Structure 1
Amino acid sequence: MKKGYKDLVGEAMAEVKTYSVEEAKAKLGDPNVQFVDVRDVRELEREGVIPGAFPAPRGMIEFWVDPDSPYFKPVFGEKKEFIFFCAAGWRSALTTKTVQDMGLENVAHIEGGFKAWKEAGGAVGVKENKPKS
């Protein structure tokens, strides 16, 4: 293996903004901030969600962020700060680097992911049946 996941995650972490859970919690509810959950739908159902977070599976992010894609989601065209998270912070680091490389501005991710969020007493809700666009 020339470059493993640890290398890729490390490179991403060196290039993206990372918020501690406390910093992220302070931004929850800010109308200029959109939390984005890149976990798999089964994780959302099993573990819960951050209230108001937009569910965007890691496998679709490039297509949902690109306005030229037929799968573009308008939420990514809004002038907001996007804070990505996953279960532990690895997928969200990679996602944040990817969308940053694509040109999406004002992006960050949460150190430790949803696991750290829950452990720190962050707000947790149940998965909605239909995501907002």
Structure 2
Amino acid sequence: MKTAQDLVAAAKTDVVEVPLDQVESALIAADVIIDVREGNEFRDGHLAGAVNIPRGLLEFILSTDEALQDRSKHIVLYCKSSGRAALAAKSMQEMGYLHVSSIAGGFDAWKQAGKPVAHPPEPDFG
């Protein structure tokens, strides 16, 4: 029986993981940056310009959102430490997306390297 770690390890053999020292270039070249973490994780901080599509909804949103229908777009995915992003990238490849990559080490590696973190604006109830 396979574990989640087995599935992640298998996915990582089939997807492109961008090393941290090349992430900024990959982000500049990306048409879309997708944060596959849960909404509360995204609200705590994310990469600038990223859209939040939780891993559990990814395939459904990709199938219904016209802005994401173009399978030739360059898409960079990330999660907390890279497992969910690897699984998401593998799934997107199986859906026919041609240029999908994930960030090695995920958001944790990005933060630990002192890279900028964006935060959504707080609601103004005043």
TM category, shorter: 0.7 to 0.9
- The equivalent of 1:13 in structure 2 is 12
In structure 1, distance between residues paired with 2:28 and 2:73: 12
CA displacement 1:63-115 (0-9 Å, x = unmatched): 1112xxxxx22331244210100000000000000111111110010001000
Q: What code does the residue aligned with 2:51 have?
A: F
* TM norm structure 1: 0.83
| Percentage of pairs with the same residue | 32
Residue 32 of structure 2 corresponds to which residue in structure 1? Answer: 34
Instruction: Show the counterpart of 2:56.
Output: 59
Structure 1 unaligned spans of 5+: 67-71
| Paired residues of 1:27 and 1:33 also in contact (CA < 8 A) | no
TM-score (norm 2): 0.87
Correspondent of 1:95 among 73, 88, 101: 88
C-alpha separation in 2, matches of 1:51 and 1:119: 16
Residue 109, structure 1, aligned to residue 102, structure 2: yes
1:77 matched to 2:74:
no
Provide the rounded CA distance (Å) in 1 between the counterparts of 2:116 and 2:25: 11
Q: How far apart are 1:128 and its partner, in Å? A: 5.3
Partner of 1:69: none
What is the distance in 2 between the residues matched to 1:117 and 1:75? 27
* Count of residue pairs the alignment pairs up: 121
Q: Which runs of 5+ in 2 are unaligned?
A: none
Cross-structure match for 2:46: 49
Q: Which moved more, 1:12-21 or 1:115-124?
A: 115-124
